[in-house]
């Protein structure tokens, strides 16, 4: 996901969230702040229709590094645990395989 995708992701997310009685109200500033990729914090990915070039799905991966103060040898733990958080779970279009 890149900055130029923010308006399309905002429309997609707002459309999805509109089906719920209680839901956050994301505007473009919110999407830019919370959902754009940030190194070692969050990665965001989009699925684009090859025919229409419209964004159909959104996926966000949160990084969570673990530090163990009681085990100094693990303080430099380089790996990240990726927590899958799918803010836009349902696909707008179905993919035939």
| Sign of the CA dihedral with 55 first, then 91, 86, and 43 last | negative
Domain boundaries, the chain: 3-88
Query: Alpha carbon of 18 to those of 29, 45, 69, 72, 73: distances in Å?
Result: 18, 22, 44, 47, 48
Structure tokens given for 29: 């500033």
From first to last of its 97 residues, the chain has per-residue pLDDT tens of 999 999 999 998 898 888 889 988 999 999 999 889 988 778 888 888 899 988 888 888 777 655 555 655 554 444 433 333 444 444 444 444 4
CATH code, residues 3-88 = 3.40.630.30
pTM of the model: 0.66
């Amino acid at each position: 996901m890149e900055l130029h995708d923010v308006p399309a992701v905002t429309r997609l997310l707002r459309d999805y969230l509109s089906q719920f009685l209680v839901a956050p109200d994301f505007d473009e500033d919110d999407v830019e702040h919370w959902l754009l990729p940030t190194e070692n914090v969050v990665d965001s990915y989009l699925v684009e229709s090859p025919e229409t070039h419209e964004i159909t799905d959104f996926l966000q991966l949160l990084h969570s590094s673990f530090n163990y103060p009681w085990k100094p040898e693990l303080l430099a733990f380089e790996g990240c645990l990726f927590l899958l958080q799918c803010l836009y779970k349902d696909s707008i279009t179905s993919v035939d395989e």
